[in-house]
Chains A and B, each alone.
Chain A
Amino acid sequence: MPYSDKVLEHYNHPRNVGSFSPSDLNVGTGLVGAPECGDVLKLQILVNPSTGMIEDAKFKTFGCGSAIASSSLATEWLKGKTIDEAMDIKNTAIVEELALPPVKVHCSVLAEDAIKAAIKNFQDKQVSKSAKQSERAELVGAAS
């Protein structure tokens, strides 16, 4: 199957390969796919909690060239976006940008799923962080 130039470009020079510490409260991690299906995407965002801006994004992907390219492109697009803007990234835009053939559309779906999973992970952490903070405040209040 011939690959588009953009897929080849991302595959040969993937952007933002790597990992953030998943325990960092400002990091959201999305892990989607399954090894037995031949695709696993791990996508991470580093969010500035005061501005809600995604300052950095990294990925690691087990999959075909289109899966690698979809994740690489997703990290490029995520950087500098707010959480709300990131929620609007659609798989169809990835399909269009990379000129993915129909059999590779699922790669873009996984990339969108990974973005959403990473954002959800970040938001869950924020909720538990604020829960912890209010818990602590209550404890502090009770002690005084």
Chain B
Amino acid sequence: MLKIPIYMDNNSTTRVDPRVVEAMLPYFTEHYGNAASRSHPYGWESEQAVETAREQIASLIGAGAKEIIFTSGATESDNLALKGVAQMYKKKGNHIITQATEHKAVLDACKRLEKEGFQVTYLPVDAFGQVNVEQIRAAITDKTILVSIMSANNEIGSLQPIKAIGKLCKEKGILFHTDGVQSVGKVPINVEEMGIDLLSLTAHKMYGPKGIGALYVRKKDPRVRLDPQIDGGGHERGMRSGTLAVPLIVGFGRAAEIAHQEMAEEAKRLYRLRERLRKAIMEKLPESYLNGHPDERLPGNANISFAYVEGEGLMMGIKDVAVSSGSACTSASLEPSYVLRALGVGDELAHSSIRFGLGRFTTEEEVDYVIDLVVREVNRLREMSPLYEMAQQGIDLKSIAWAAH
């Protein structure tokens, strides 16, 4: 029996794994001590639980436990990495390199730094949403202090050449930050092998709870220093003050442990399901296009544009499946997805895009249901679309003088 609506928005957030919930529960009602309390067993057991979680998370990314700084989520981690590095190293230089398709947490932090006098280079991406290491090499100046390139994109799932970028940054003595929100726990990420100095993480994209994230901050070769953004009790090596959210951290740790153990198998299963969905939809619906890289992408992500059909209108038709769209109509602005635009996807196709995010709890039965639903609704809406009618009549839609509104 299918549970409707089917959840296929795992790039947005994930269901908390029941094993994670189970691990968390005692830390609400039994072990509720403050991890910073040194004077009684309540504090000690909370501290112990936090340290275990730190190790579990560190182990997933090949880091040391002391290099994990807990935050409220990846938005805070991105802010801390960018602003913290910029302010700490501003005597060394004032230039930061990032790319056009970063998450807003990185882009908006960069915009604020620009207001404070920093120079930011926003590299363009290619048609698959990727940057190449030569672009970064060319953008580096003697003032560059930080490169921030996400390891996988949240909308289109494209992976970036992180290892090559890490190597270049080492060579140039520049710090390298990557937003690993989408990639960690989904594809192998190792801070040593990839030369990552700072890595943003969040629990809720890997079947953990919302409201807890982390920033990996390298401790040696080089020892990265940060100007803290939140002042207070000096928690987290002084980099992020505030009482630790012990139950959330315990859940984050357990989620990381499960991801570590099951990632290889889960990635294979998700890839198979994703390809089943993608192939069937694209075979049955002509003029549907995959956005992002065909192979170098997250195993569970398929972002597809359906020509002649508008994304929000389509989502209404396929309301039995929870997905997201690059259409302008889903946001307050009238601009369609800036990520798809950066790839050079025309506005018309950007409006027609649907992001399918498969996850740990997605079943084959759900995938087959979604295939039928999408095919049926796209066909229904195409029959209702003046653009489809014109295309069928051989009219070149670009030849028409549309009145933009």
Q: Which residues of A are in contact with B by a Cβ distance under 8 Å?
A: 3, 8, 11, 14, 17, 19, 31-42, 60-65, 67-68, 103, 106, 110
- Whether A19 contacts B384 in the complex (CB less than 8 A), given A38-B327, A65-B316, comes out as no
Q: A17-B383, A42-B386, A60-B384 are in contact. Are A35 and B348 (CB under 8 A)?
A: yes
Instruction: Give the residues in chain A near B387, CB-CB below 8 Å.
Output: 35, 40, 62
Binds A, one of B137-145, B260-268, B328-336: B328-336
B308 at the interface (CB under 8 A from A): yes
- CB of B316 within 8 A of CB of A34, answer no
Q: Are A63 and B313 closer than 8 Å at their CB atoms?
A: yes
User: Do B328 and A40 touch (CB < 8 A)?
Assistant: no
The answer for the CA separation of A60 and B385 in the assembled complex, in Å, is: 5
Residues A33 and B403 in contact in the complex (CB < 8 Å), given A60-B385, A60-B389: yes
Q: How far is the CA of A67 from the CA of B336 in the complex (A)?
A: 17
Q: Which residues of B contact A35 (CB under 8 A)?
A: 347-348, 351, 387, 397, 402
- Besides the contacts A17-B384, A33-B402, A35-B347, what 12 more A-B pairs have beta carbons closer than 8 Å? A19-B389, A32-B405, A34-B404, A35-B351, A36-B347, A36-B351, A37-B334, A38-B347, A42-B386, A62-B386, A63-B310, A64-B312
Query: Which listed residue, B348, B385, B405, touches A61 by the CB 8 Å rule?
Result: B385
List residues of B (361-405) whose CB comes within 8 Å of A's CBs.
Answer: 383-389, 397, 402-405
- Max chain A C-beta neighbours (<10 A), residue from B329, B387, B397: B329
| Chain A residues in 8 Å Cβ range of B334 | 37-38
Interface size for chain B: under 10, 10 to 19, 20 to 34, or 35 or more residues? 20 to 34
0 or 1 for each of B279-315: is its CB under 8 Å from A? (1 = yes): 0000000000000000000000000000011111100
A3, B309: Cα distance in complex, Å: 19
Top 4 A-B pairs, shortest CB-CB distance: A34-B402, A36-B347, A42-B386, A35-B348
Contact in complex: B310, A64 (CB < 8 Å): yes
A33 to B397, CA, bound (A): 13
By the criterion CB–CB under 8 Å, are B385 and A110 in contact?
Answer: no
Q: B310 touches which one: A42, A60, A62, A110 (CB < 8 A)?
A: A62
Q: How far is the CA of A124 from the CA of B383 in the complex (A)?
A: 29
Query: Please, how many angstroms separate the alpha-carbon atoms of A67 and B386 in the complex?
Result: 13
Task: Determine the distance from Cα of A65 to Cα of B384 in the docked complex, in whole angstroms.
Answer: 12
A106 near B405 with CB under 8 A, answer yes
Q: Are A62 and B309 in contact (CB under 8 A)?
A: yes
Contacts of A60 in B (CB 8 A): 384-386, 389
Q: Identify which of B316, B329, B385 contacts A38 (C-beta below 8 A).
A: B329
Taking A19-B389, A60-B389, A64-B312 as contacts, is the C-beta distance between A38 and B351 under 8 angstroms? yes
With both chains docked as a complex, state the minimum distance between the C-beta of A104 and any C-beta of chain B, in angstroms.
Answer: 8
Query: Which residues of B have CB within 8 Å of A106?
Result: 405
Complex Cα–Cα for A134 and B316 (A): 52
State whether A62 touches B308 (Cβ < 8 A).
yes
Residue of B312, B328, B336, B351 touching A65 (CB-CB under 8 A): B312
What chain A residues lie within 8 Å of B346 (beta carbons)? Answer: 36
Q: Could you list some 11 contacts between A and B, CB below 8 A?
A: A8-B316, A14-B384, A34-B402, A38-B311, A39-B405, A40-B385, A60-B386, A61-B384, A61-B385, A62-B309, A67-B310
Contacting pair B313 A68 (CB below 8 A)? yes
User: Contact: B402 with A36, CB < 8 Å?
Assistant: yes
Are A61 and B402 neighbours in the complex by a CB distance under 8 Å?
no
Given contacts A37-B334, A110-B405, contact A64 B316 (CB under 8 A): yes
A37 to B311, CA, bound (A): 12
Roughly how many angstroms separate A35 CA and B388 CA in the complex, as a whole number?
11
B386: chain A residues within 8 A (beta carbon): 31, 40-42, 60-62
A72 to chain B, nearest CB (A): 9
Instruction: Please state if B405 and A37 are interface contacts (CB–CB under 8 Å).
Output: yes
Bound CA span A85–B395, Å: 33
A71 to chain B, nearest CB (A): 9
Report the separation of the CA atoms of residues A108 and B334 in the bound assembly, to the nearest whole angstrom.
16
Q: Would A64 and B327 count as touching, CB distance under 8 A?
A: yes
Chain B residue at minimal CB-CB distance from A110: B405
Hey, which chain B residues are within 8 Å of A103, CB to CB? Answer: 332
Q: Which residues of B contact A65 (CB under 8 A)?
A: 312-313, 316
A38 touching B310 in the complex, CB below 8 Å, given contacts A106-B405, A110-B405: yes
For residue A36, give the distance in angstroms from its CB to the closest CB of chain B: 4
Question: B309 and A38: CB pair below 8 A?
Answer: no
